[in-house]
Structure 1
């Protein structure tokens, strides 16, 4: 409960700060700044329920900001996302269900009406340590802050119809995976050579974004990232796909549902088989659903 109270307090401070402070006017008109703070909570409770069930509670906070610049033929789009969430079921204690820091930057020069020459950068890591739990509740460390941290960058070209539909392709993209945690780097987590703290890859990447209004007050957002490493098994493509549905109840209250699928050849998770722990590269799936408060500006 302490963790949920801390998340709720942080959200309240963010909302209060934005509602009371008047941002300075952008006299240049070149910058467009907007974003949203979202606090979601969901809860299930059962008492003498014939079909059975497990009491649970979860809370998530997501901060999502855009800083976009446009002047003449030049544009610079930046997005920062920070998300963290906790969930609890009877007998398991608190465990995180979301933990991410994402920074995206796309510098573009207009080539034609919808096409741009670009240089892009993407950085991702997390706030806290992550664990894998077995049936007995024993945990194994599988991730940590800057373990991994992924930095991808490179030149390319983009098709941008609007802020809600864009595709960027980089045929010469570098990807650096950082594993700063000693215990994880020593076993070669996330594809690094055991004992090393980083992995360099060079290949091609694709980043796509599409958001559409399905009906009034309901929007559907799609985010896709693909990467192929020229230097080693280019056929083993890294894929990260996120689908979000936002259902607006009123100015502040929303119902959000999210699904994320990750296929990463460099990430192997522990799997118990006949009492033996084996490591496999598996499809990673994350689902989040909840109702809460969203403040946009």
Structure 2
């Protein structure tokens, strides 16, 4: 009797231990599977500052301070056949100079998303669809005139949606996107700017007495060809150069007239948290008509599209997070 009881206890104990070991191994296997993810997240917060201060400086000069905050959030998916890249960028900058009003130097809200699929896992070419949206936060002015905004939130805003092919070379940090069919929609959700025909929308019509006949359009739709490329490389130790070029031509309106958007940036890494940035941004859009006070009477007159140029130089703090 005692032997039977002992045998039963040994059986139950061994069964319990085996069950425990099996459960632990399954839990470990489950945990190991759960940490395997095709998603990668990389986020950056960058604060750039420039400052000039003069005291009894014989050569003269005005005290000034400027700051830019940049946020970049990325979340990318990749497996053998599929990629999905998502990016949100938000930049805002202000400048304050002695005896002058506070002025905006940077203003951007941008969302980009590219989905790609390839049949051959050894190929760098993907069948792709691309979505891009861009606008700004606050009013823009032709300084020193701060009474008449030349841009506002959602005036303009740009939406690109198209399909094509993307070549992605991860080893060389290079991407090339070709789209023969891309829709570009321009939004001008401000009545004053829309009536003026700003950013290429159909302007309002008036009778001989200046009375409004038809309101200006709030949107303009175009269909054309889009080519874009990105390339990053380390030109020197702790100095990385980044290029981004976008070319677009509308099939219907002035085909062959190319709008271009080119950014080149040099990021200088001082240490983990301190960085410097030198950047230039070249932009040409045939729908953006430049305005200038030709007769010095305070009235801005439209003189046609011009190449737009912006340059940035700053030192600041960088914080990476997930």
- When normalised by structure 2's length, the TM-score is 0.81
Counterpart in the other structure of 1:271? 292
Instruction: Check conservation: 1:39, 1:292, Cα contact below 8 A.
Output: yes
Question: Which residue of 251, 254, 277 corresponds with 1:256?
Answer: 277
Q: Distance in 2 between matches of 1:138 and 1:98?
A: 16
Question: Which residue of 107, 128, 135 corresponds with 1:125?
Answer: 135
CA 26–39 in structure 1, closer or farther in 2 if over 3 Å, else same: farther
Q: CA offset at residue 140 of structure 1?
A: 2.8
Instruction: Check conservation: 1:133, 1:139, Cα contact below 8 A.
Output: no
For residues 230-275 of structure 1, give each alpha carbon's deviation from its aligned partner in whole angstroms, at most 9, with x where no partner exists. Answer: 0100122111111111111111000111111110101113211123
Q: Distance in 2 between matches of 1:155 and 1:268?
A: 29
More helix by share: 2
More strand by share: 1
CA 178–292 in structure 1, closer or farther in 2 if over 3 Å, else same: same
Equivalences for residues 147-296 of structure 1 within 5 A: 147-162=155-170, 164-194=173-203, 195-275=216-296, 277-279=300-302, 280-296=304-320
Counterpart in the other structure of 1:32? 40
Counterpart in the other structure of 2:126? 116
Q: CA offset at residue 38 of structure 1?
A: 0.2
Counterpart in the other structure of 2:22? none
Range moving further from structure 2, 169-178 or 89-98: 89-98
Which protein is bigger by CA-based radius of gyration?
2
Counterpart in the other structure of 1:60? 68
Q: Distance in 1 between matches of 2:147 and 2:161?
A: 34
Q: Distance in 2 between matches of 1:157 and 1:202?
A: 17
Instruction: Check conservation: 1:132, 1:139, Cα contact below 8 A.
Output: no
Instruction: Check conservation: 1:133, 1:140, Cα contact below 8 A.
Output: no
For residues 80-104 of structure 1, give each alpha carbon's deviation from its aligned partner in whole angstroms, at most 9, with x where no partner exists. Answer: 1000000011222111100001111
RMSD: 1.6
CA 26–189 in structure 1, closer or farther in 2 if over 3 Å, else same: farther
CA 198–72 in structure 1, closer or farther in 2 if over 3 Å, else same: same
- When normalised by structure 1's length, the TM-score is 0.87
Q: Distance in 1 between matches of 2:232 and 2:159?
A: 25
For residues 35-79 of structure 1, give each alpha carbon's deviation from its aligned partner in whole angstroms, at most 9, with x where no partner exists. Answer: 210011110112232322222110110001111011230110111
- Number of residue pairs matched by the alignment: 271
> Mind listing any 5+ residue stretches in structure 1 that lack a counterpart?
1-24
